[in-house]
Amino acid sequence: MRLLATTNGGLESVTSAELAELVGADPDTHHRGVVAFDGSREAVYDLHCRSRSCHRLMEVLVDERVDGLAGVYEATRTVDLAAHLPDEEFGVVGTRHGSHEFTSVDVADRVGQAVIDGYRAATGDRLPVDLDDPTVRLEAYLYDDRFTLAVDLTGDSLHKRPYRVCEHDAPLRGTLAYSMLRLAEYAADDRLVDPMAGSATIPIEAALAATDRPPRPDLDPAFGVLPRYDAERFGERRAGHEPRDTDPDLEARERREKWRRCARVNVEAAGVEGAVDVVAADAREASLDADCVVTNLPFGIRVSEDLRDLYVAFADRVREGSVDRLVALTTKPDLLPLEFVERHDIPYGRIDASVVVWTP
């Protein structure tokens, strides 16, 4: 079956590489922030247990060229809706890009009406609608004349890590942190340092990846309500997953005591106290000796210090130290006086940011 995975926009290649590694998929970019691939239900179960860069996984119901809203309606009516949807409240999220005389809301409305009409024609029942908190969520994409309809399999997003007990002022998604680790080519036997660790999201993600522990052990996907999926089977596969026995070398540096306390709370919540050292250090002064340095650089939005001075001093420590690979998230890459071998421009909330990669 055809599947979609949503992820951090601009890092689709990272998620594609993870999907290939975990389930042998050969993904292509559907559109920004979404990759498409072929996979089995067993692959879906495994990815909900082990994927670290995906936000949601969806099964494609329709993917074809259409002519306007009428085409959207007719394409949706071709789906055997009774085979894919339970008699539960549903909602549709519409996304439209291109030149059209209608809106994303109109796309969602036409899909919703087609679902109601098609399900009633097949079963005699009218599906209830809940746009705020539906049991079943449908995603409808219309990019120019390409219409894709998919049913969400995940429910609560995979990026919502349960260890995030103490939240930083500028929180970093776990999925983005893991994607940065992949760009750093981090391996379980590497020494990794985050010189500006905040609440320690990057080192925690490294610890979970090194030990191959599920990033969302608390996840309750939609398998219990969706026809053709088996919540018990998913539970068995997750329970049968064996973490790796390894001893990663991870250091979370932070100069502010407030965030060191926060980091320790999150490290304990993640159950990786033995893997992550939280230490007091100033990134402008502390020397660096690490296989990988991965960090979220201050953006200047909530920081009063001179960013240029911070970035220059940090770059000096990187060049002077023993660092095999640096990966940094920043909104101001031009302030970092290093020559990058890669740069990935991404949306970060409502601002534009970049993930940059440097090697000596």
3-state DSSP call for residue 225? coil
Please, are residues 83 and 129 in contact by the beta-carbon 8 Å criterion? no
pLDDT reported for residue 226: 96
Residue corresponding to tokens 């500006």: 196
Same domain, 147 and 276: no
* CATH code assigned at 308: 3.40.50.150
Please, are residues 149 and 282 in contact by the beta-carbon 8 Å criterion? no
Same domain, 40 and 96: yes
Please, are residues 91 and 138 in contact by the beta-carbon 8 Å criterion? yes
Please, are residues 302 and 351 in contact by the beta-carbon 8 Å criterion? no
262 inside domain: yes
Cα–Cα distance measured from residue 200 to residue 316, given in angstroms and rounded to the nearest whole number: 23
157-215 tens-digit pLDDT: 999 999 999 988 878 999 999 999 999 999 999 999 999 999 999 999 999 999 999 99
Domain of residue 140, residue span? 2-152
Cα–Cα distance measured from residue 254 to residue 294, given in angstroms and rounded to the nearest whole number: 13
pLDDT reported for residue 348: 87
34 inside domain: yes
Same domain, 252 and 137: no
Same domain, 207 and 354: yes
236 inside domain: no
Same domain, 207 and 271: yes
250-286 tens-digit pLDDT: 999 999 999 999 999 999 999 999 999 999 999 999 9
Number of domains in the chain: 2
Give all strands (DSSP E) within the chain, no chain letters: 2-6, 28-31, 34-38, 56-65, 90-97, 136-143, 146-152, 191-194, 249-253, 276-279, 289-296, 322-330, 342-348, 351-358
238 inside domain: no
Cα distances from 109 to residues 69, 99, 133, in angstroms, run: 10, 18, 16
pLDDT reported for residue 167: 85
pLDDT reported for residue 275: 96
CA angle, 51 then 152 then 81, to 5°: 140
Helix runs in 151-241, H state only: 174-183, 201-210, 231-239
Sign of the C-alpha dihedral, residues 303, 307, 312, 313? negative
Same domain, 124 and 263: no
Same domain, 15 and 47: yes
Helices then strands, each counted (H, E), the chain: 10, 14
Please identify every stretch of the chain with a pLDDT value under 50, giving residue numbers as ranges.
Answer: 301-304
Same domain, 199 and 135: no
Same domain, 9 and 114: yes
pLDDT reported for residue 169: 81
Same domain, 104 and 184: no
75 inside domain: yes
224 inside domain: no
Cα–Cα distance measured from residue 63 to residue 147, given in angstroms and rounded to the nearest whole number: 6
Entry pTM: 0.94
* CATH code assigned at 85: 3.30.2130.30
165 inside domain: no
